[in-house]
Chain A
Amino acid sequence: MNQRSRWWSELLVHAALLVAVAFALYPVLWVVSLALSPGGTPSPRAIPLPTAVSLDNFRAVLGTHDTAGRWIFGRQLFNSVAVALCTAAASVALATPSAYALARMRFVGERGGMRVLLATQMFPGVATAVPLYVILDGLKLLDTRAGLVLVYATTALPFAMFQLRGAFEAIPRELEEAAMVDGATRWQAFVKVILPAARPAIAVTMLFAFMSAWNEFILAATFLSHEEAFTLPVALQRYVGEHDAQWGRFAAGAMIVSVPVMAVFYAVQRHLVGGLTAGSVKG
């Protein structure tokens, strides 16, 4: 009886998980099948498998050229990669020292600063787009990738700071004290000990910044006005406009956009839970 009921409960668990997996994968498979189907309009099918496989959509998207005959897809791919990588690097570079100070030092304005940081997360971006536009214009960074990186990096900054502050707080204080007693300055202790010890958290924070930049299109569409400066999501938007929906092209483009970010995500995902400091302290 016991044996049987365990068998049944095991079966039920797997059934539930399989249903969840189906739910998780269905839209993705739908996009894949759409991308591989020849022709633009999707067919109403319950099972997301293409009836015929063709790479036309991919060819069309990958081979996009602008009116001057330049390979605009490659240019936009480069933009996306450059902007996302720079955003990840810039936001983490900006966030780490300040998150460290917030985690380890007591200073006047610390609590107020944290409150402001938290509050910024509650103000809807809709109302800041226009002032940002004006500020970027004033900085002569409108319609540049650098301006976009700056905006993305600062938008990602509060979250990155929360995340890293938490990670730094979890690192035992003794580590940097040991380094300082060993002859390191505070900065050296930070760079040589704290940062490496926080590598998983930094990787995760970079991942989030990378993903937010890689996926963003509203601000990019607002700030950029050169096709050569566009990022892929902005270009992709055009395939599903109000008057003309090229779902096949969109799906192919969506896959091209998704695959790199998924690759990065899966490379870092094991760090989403847990960390590396386990073992350095106590037995």
Chain B
Amino acid sequence: MAAVTLRGIRKKLGTAPILRGIDLAIAHGEFTVLVGPSGCGKSTLLRTVAGLEEPDEGTIHLDDRDVTRAAPRDRDIAMVFQSYALYPHLTVRENLGFGLAIRGTAKTDIDVRVAEVSRMLNIEALLDRYPREMSGGQRQRVAMGRAIARRPAVFLFDEPLSNLDAALRSQVRVEIKRLHAGLGATMLYVTHDQVEAMTLADRLVVLRAGAVEQQGPPLEVYERPASRFVAAFLGSPAMNFVTAVMGADGATATAEGLRLAVRPALPGSKVLLGVRPHDVVPADDGGIALRVDVVEPMGFEAYAHGTVGGEPFVARLDGSVALPKPGDLLRLTVPKRAVHRFDPETERALSEEPG
């Protein structure tokens, strides 16, 4: 177990900046998830921590040790790859023991450790198989087992679940969480899947174009997104955005039947309002008018897609009530505390209450 500290990490690929100054402090035993859309630099950052890429600037410390220029093998880390990267010519047993063997661990110790790990992951029956003889889920387990067997200071995960089908994915997700609890190890996990990000993380780090957009406990990030980007990225279906105009009083913004007190600003200036689909409540009258064009019934709930004032808008409805039909006009109200306010220029969040 170790703490990981990144300071001012910058990296360019040719002339294109990939990482533009990343500072991150990961505590002992913390499960940190790096999340962001593809191309945001999250994998590069992870590989930088692993030592597979060298930063142009900045430092990486494991506890107090500067490992910025250290080779991967000198960092005491383990990594689970998206493709699992199992050695095709080795059996599961040999795959699990590879890291130990290469560090000169005694044969008997390796056997003990492999047995322990395979018991933990329930892959004892697979020990003499080759990677090509296993299913995707089994390979994924072996890949994790290979990391665990090493007992590294830090675990790195690079989208380890993205090649699994949906059912398996949620199952393994739970297992990873359980594993973290059991091992208490420092883990750094990269994903583009916000469900994984939300469910696994002790701390969520949202990356955008090579910089940290926001970090914090997942619920905090979810509830108080620092920017339109984070707000839109987390949550499914994504947050709705409506542009509101400040009224003559300079403190109330109006948009399509939504009236909201915001921080004083010039009358006529604009503010971006964000509403999660889950936060709307159907009403008989007043509120927002959603012109429905598609309804997705999911059983216990349903999503009504349509437009509000010409902009796309999604509302979550209770599945047990009568659903609207395409063409209907749906009236919705939004509790005031559920409305997020963003500056339309900078797209940063504006403080919640009028100051």
Contacts and interface: CB of A to CB of B under 8 A. Distances in A.
Interface residues of B, number: 36
A276 interface: yes
A188 B102 CA distance: 8
Interface string B97-138: 011001100000000000000000000000000111101100
A282 B83 contact: yes
Interface stretch (B71-79, B312-320, B334-342): B71-79
Interface stretch (A15-23, A161-169, A193-201, A214-222): A193-201
B136 A178 contact: no
Interface stretch (B86-94, B178-186, B192-200, B252-260): B86-94
A183 B72 CA distance: 7
A283 interface: yes
Given A172-B85, A174-B81, A281-B84, A183 B73 contact: yes
A210 to B, nearest CB: 22
B78 A279 contact: no
Contacts of A280: 84-88, 131-132
B102 A281 contact: no
B77 A181 contact: yes
Contacts of A199: 89
B139 interface: yes
B176 interface: no
A182 B78 contact: yes
B73 A184 contact: yes
A181 B87 contact: no
Contacts of B98: 179, 182, 192
Contacts of B132: 278-280
Contacts of B73: 180-185
B102 A177 contact: no
B89 A182 contact: no
A63 B291 CA distance: 98
Given A196-B89, A276-B89, A279-B88, A183 B83 contact: no
Given A172-B83, A174-B83, A276 B88 contact: yes
B269 interface: no
Contacts of A278: 132
A77 interface: no
B52 A181 contact: yes
Contacts of A180: 51-52, 71-73
A189 B119 CA distance: 28
A41 interface: no
Interface string A131-151: 000000000000000000000
Given A197-B87, A280-B87, 12 more contacts: A172-B83, A175-B85, A177-B72, A181-B72, A183-B102, A184-B102, A196-B90, A197-B88, A278-B132, A279-B88, A281-B84, A283-B136
